[in-house]
Amino acid sequence: MKDAEGLILYIGKAKNLRARLRSYFVPGGDGRAQIPLLMAKVIAIEVILTDTEKEALLLENNLIKKHHPRYNIDLRDDKTYVSVRLDLREEFPALQVVRLVHNDGALYFGPYSSAGAIRQTLKEIFRVFPLRHSKIERCRLRGRPCLFHQIGQCSAPCHGKISVEDYGQLVKGVVALLSGRDPEVLQLLRQRRTEAAAAMHFEEAARLRDQVRAIERSVEHQSVAELGGGDQDVLGLQRDGGEVEVLLLFVRQGKLLGKRSWSVEWRLDINELISDFLRQYYGSGVIIPDQILLPESLDDAELLGDWLTEMRGKRVQISTPQRGDKKRMVLMACRNAEDEKRQRGSKKEARNKVLEEIRQRFYLPALPQRIECFDISNIQGAYSVGSMAVLLDGEAAPKEYRRYKIKTVEGADDYASLTEVLRRRLVRGQAEGNLPQMILIDGGKGQLGVLAQVIDELDLGKTIGIAGIAKSRIIANVRGKVVEKSEERFFIPGRKNPISLRSGSPVLYMLERLRDETHRFAITYHRKLRSKATLRSSLEDIPGVGPARRKALLKHFGSLKQIRAASLEELCRMPGLSEQLAQTIYQFLMTRK
């Protein structure tokens, strides 16, 4: 469904499309309060026919991802949680922390809400089951095992310190631990400890004893609830006016692993909202469980189950329990959704107060629901880049961040570079109808003057408020002994003296955080360009070495430093590299040393 400007407002599917569309045009036929609002804007309806319901499901999912229609839900505040990957097909499998789950035959555990927390957990696992940490090809290039082996957190399979069979026993222990089968692991280790002690292998018995104690301590600190066997995702809902809080509880092997929630605009009936949510969430590269428990039944539950089964490679069941433990789990998820809604409402109210204070202190024309901050980064004019970080309703919105490679400015001219970046952003924003209510510039009066000039040129002064944030200054007394650090200074047009904000105030914290995030984003992009240019100057200029060959060289030797340090004989031994090309590479790199 499209409006007068061709903008897609809503995308939907139906087995009987004629009956579905008729309900939209009959007063009260659909029954949803938002349908009259939608139909008042709809000018045209485009229809695509498919051969099967499944094809319609896939097409609808792809089109929603592409166009993000206003009247379909959009999980814009979603972030990908981390999972742990273990590929048992490798000779010496290793643990990897990943953000996307692929149907590649490997085992995945999770999801986990904190990458830092799961890495800390893996540290404890490595002390008990010392699997390898790095790529085995890279480790074999070293003359001796790595530091992890020396501190007992790696069994060094790369240097033959452990057999494939013994390493496989370590892997089995890790799989059991991450799968929640702690008693199984403890029983195995205790049995091996007893056998080692009986054989008078006391050092081995002591090591196994320490492993048992480490696992027991880890299990004691887990906050879990026994909810029955199997892997399940339990969905809970809390409706409040025009918004719905959607929450998932993750149950793995009968233990409550964690939760995550989303706040979405309520523009669909609950049946459609749940269906859209399941497609968006499980289509984004996450772990798909054995069973999904819902608070309300779906018309297309069987179709969604078949789709998820095909994606996962194993049967996935979607059900709406009516009694028993599973019903209790759904009610628990709904109570958690209610609590999340209450907490989110309190946080939103607090953020709105901060935004209102910003509007008043900086004399903005409207409440700054979208604040953008810009920064320029370069080294003596080289690799100059610009960055934009964004706050939406007072919260960082990484998906809205943008990077700008300076195209029209030569040398170190920050003012000209800033002018280019601002014009590119605001001209596009005018065309797309996506402008901020406030722009913050990292700099003092000079940078603010550049911003004010661009705003005047584009006639945006009545819609966008502007300010500059200057770094704190070091203040010393006349004798140079008492040194103080001033607070951040904020400048606005038409005012000589800076605006002072109370130290530790929420407004100061929010704007400082935005400025720091913009600076970090710019520096990261600048370093990436500089690193790419360094790599290009070393490898891309070698005759006969193209992109595929550069990739093969880096994969074989591990790094640019190792390639430079390689002898001619080592280059010649590289698979797929002719002796003549090896000589060319060696001579070229020797001239650059």
Q: What CA–CA distance (Å, rounded) separates 451 from 70? A: 32
State the DSSP H helix or E strand holding residue 421, giving kind and residue range, or none if neither. Answer: helix 414-432
The model's pLDDT over 253-288, given as tens digits with 9 standing for 90+, comes to: 777 777 888 888 766 677 888 888 898 888 877 888
Per-position b or e across 100-110, b if 16+ CB within 10 A of its CB: ebeeeebbbbb
The model's pLDDT over 51-105, given as tens digits with 9 standing for 90+, comes to: 888 888 888 888 887 888 877 776 654 455 778 889 888 889 998 888 888 878 8
Kindly tell me if the per-residue pLDDT of 26 is higher than 80.
no
Q: Cα 392 from chain centroid? A: 17
Q: What is the pLDDT of residue 478?
A: 56
How many helices and strands, by DSSP H and E, does the chain display?
19, 17
Kindly tell me if the per-residue pLDDT of 362 is higher than 80.
yes
Q: What CA–CA distance (Å, rounded) separates 378 from 522? A: 9
State the DSSP H helix or E strand holding residue 476, giving kind and residue range, or none if neither. Answer: strand 474-476
Kindly tell me if the per-residue pLDDT of 247 is higher than 70.
yes
Q: What is the pLDDT of residue 483?
A: 54
Contacts of 343 (CB under 8 A, 6+ apart): none
CATH code for the domain in which residue 497 is found: 3.30.420.340
The model's pLDDT over 528-537, given as tens digits with 9 standing for 90+, comes to: 665 655 555 5
**Quick check: helix, strand or coil at residue 472?**
coil
- Cite the beta strand spans of 276-381 per DSSP E: 291-293, 317-319, 370-379
How many folded domains does the chain comprise? Answer: 5
CATH code for the domain in which residue 311 is found: 3.30.420
**Quick check: helix, strand or coil at residue 255?**
strand
Q: Are 298 and 275 in contact (CB under 8 A)?
A: yes
Residues 380 and 513 in one domain: yes
Q: Within a 10 A sphere around the Cβ of 248, how many other Cβ atoms?
A: 24
Structural domain for 88, as ranges: 82-220
Residues 521 and 545 in one domain: no
Average of pLDDT values for 324-336? 90
Q: What is the pLDDT of residue 128?
A: 76
CATH code for the domain in which residue 562 is found: 1.10.150.20
Q: What is the pLDDT of residue 241?
A: 65
Q: What is the pLDDT of residue 525?
A: 66
Residue 94 in tokens: 């290793």
Residues 215 and 262 in one domain: no
Confidence of residue 349 (pLDDT cuts 50, 70, 90): confident
Average of pLDDT values for 106-132? 77
Domain end marker among 501, 526, 551: 526
Q: What is the pLDDT of residue 223?
A: 38
Residues 167 and 265 in one domain: no
Kindly tell me if the per-residue pLDDT of 182 is higher than 70.
no
The model's pLDDT over 199-223, given as tens digits with 9 standing for 90+, comes to: 888 887 887 787 677 666 544 444 3
Average of pLDDT values for 437-451? 90
Domain end marker among 324, 343, 362: 343
Q: What CA–CA distance (Å, rounded) separates 152 from 127? A: 7
Residues 546 and 413 in one domain: no
Kindly tell me if the per-residue pLDDT of 108 is higher than 70.
yes
Q: What percent of the chain has pLDDT over 70?
A: 85
Residues 374 and 518 in one domain: yes
Kindly tell me if the per-residue pLDDT of 380 is higher than 70.
no
Q: Is 469 within the bounds of a domain?
A: yes
Chain mean pLDDT for the chain: 81
Q: Write phi, then psi, for 40 (nearest 5 degrees).
A: -70, -20
Q: What is the pLDDT of residue 559?
A: 73
The DSSP letter of residue 389 is E
Q: What is the pLDDT of residue 592?
A: 63
**Quick check: helix, strand or coil at residue 29?**
coil
Kindly tell me if the per-residue pLDDT of 139 is higher than 60.
yes
Q: What is the pLDDT of residue 219?
A: 46
Residues 88 and 198 in one domain: yes
The residue among 531 and 502 whose pLDDT is bigger is: 502
Residues 90 and 142 in one domain: yes
Q: What is the pLDDT of residue 221?
A: 40
Strands 489-491 and 465-470: antiparallel
Q: Is 91 within the bounds of a domain?
A: yes
Q: What CA–CA distance (Å, rounded) separates 267 from 136? A: 51
Q: Is 364 within the bounds of a domain?
A: no
Q: Is 12 within the bounds of a domain?
A: no
Q: Is 11 within the bounds of a domain?
A: no
Residues 57 and 91 in one domain: no
The CA–CA distances, whole Å, from 450 to 267, 390, 447, 453 equal 42, 20, 5, 5
Average of pLDDT values for 332-361? 87
Q: Is 73 within the bounds of a domain?
A: no
Q: What CA–CA distance (Å, rounded) separates 331 from 333? A: 5
Residues 436 and 399 in one domain: yes
Average of pLDDT values for 139-147? 80
Residues 41 and 101 in one domain: no
Residues 456 and 565 in one domain: no
Q: Is 242 within the bounds of a domain?
A: yes
Q: What CA–CA distance (Å, rounded) separates 433 from 29? A: 34
Q: What is the pLDDT of residue 148?
A: 85
The CA–CA distances, whole Å, from 141 to 458, 540, 551 equal 59, 24, 17
Q: What is the pLDDT of residue 572?
A: 87
The residue among 557 and 540 whose pLDDT is bigger is: 557
Q: What is the pLDDT of residue 180?
A: 67
Per-position b or e across 500-535, b if 16+ CB within 10 A of its CB: ebeeeebbbebbeebbebbbebbeebbeebeeeeee
Exposure on the CB side of residue 341, measured as CA atoms within 13 A = 20
Q: What is the pLDDT of residue 369?
A: 92
State the DSSP H helix or E strand holding residue 435, giving kind and residue range, or none if neither. Answer: none
Q: Ranked by mean pLDDT, which of 40-54, 218-232, 405-419 comes out on top?
A: 40-54
Confidence of residue 587 (pLDDT cuts 50, 70, 90): confident
Q: What is the pLDDT of residue 465?
A: 93
Q: Is 358 within the bounds of a domain?
A: no
Domain end marker among 197, 220, 243: 220
The CA–CA distances, whole Å, from 569 to 319, 384, 545, 585 equal 64, 40, 18, 12
Q: Are 376 and 417 in contact (CB under 8 A)?
A: yes
